[in-house]
Amino acid sequence: QRGTAEPFEVKITRGKITISSVTWEDKGNGIAYIRISRFGSETNKEWNQAVSEINLKMADLDAVVLDVRGNPGGYMDSAIHIASEFLKSNTVVMHQEDALGESFEYKDTRTGSFERLPKIFVMIDGGSASASEILAAGLKENLGDLVTMVGDKSFGKGTIQDARDFKDGSGLHLSVGKWLTPKKNWVHDIGIEPDVKVELTLEDFTEGRDPQLDKVLELAKE
């Protein structure tokens, strides 16, 4: 504590802190900004809640901004679930290919609330990996010019892991296949290039500026 010269004791009670992986904000002009920090076990439920709130509070919805910057990925099914909000039913979101070259399709199996949106923006950067790239590529390759990706090139992680936990507390993440975009492109070690490249410098970050988001909001208002 500032201003206290002598040390003092504080009793701290351990507690569980829950941080939502999906948050949203009304940016005005019919623009809903949705931040997805990770794709975890609660992400689908948190996404559904956010969508319900947006539909309830934003009757003038014209554009959705999905921010997956710095999102390292997580559950593949959550990326597919979120992509399905924007795609028509039975649309291929991604392909999975095993070591023998056998391929499996993953499709949108539900009717989403944002299928008729005229403007969709996806914010990516070098920290956007795996499930974040599945979401970004799934939307861009299916919806074309309706989707504008802004930011910097994504990480480029195109493998799929099977996570195993053991009784001694150790664990193993085993690569069991690779994922491909709807058009069967493999982004591993390549990444996804944004449509509009905007750098976020260290100075921007320390000064609290976000030129990438500023650019998205500028484009969304056009």
Residue 43: CB partners within 8 Å, gap ≥ 6?
21, 22, 36, 74, 75, 78, 81, 82
Question: What six digits make up the tokens of 8?
Answer: 């003092």
Which residues are catalytically annotated?
130, 157, 161
How far apart are the C-alpha atoms of 149 and 128, rounded to whole Å?
A: 12
Please name every residue paired with 32 in a beta bridge, in sequence order, or none if there are none: 26, 64
How far apart are the C-alpha atoms of 92 and 20, rounded to whole Å?
A: 28
**H or E stretch at 135:** helix 131-143
**H or E stretch at 76:** helix 76-83
Question: What six digits make up the tokens of 156?
Answer: 């480029």
Write the DSSP string, 47-59.
HHHHHHHHHHH-T
How far apart are the C-alpha atoms of 143 and 54, rounded to whole Å?
A: 22
**105 three-class SS:** strand
What one-letter code names the amino acid at 74? G
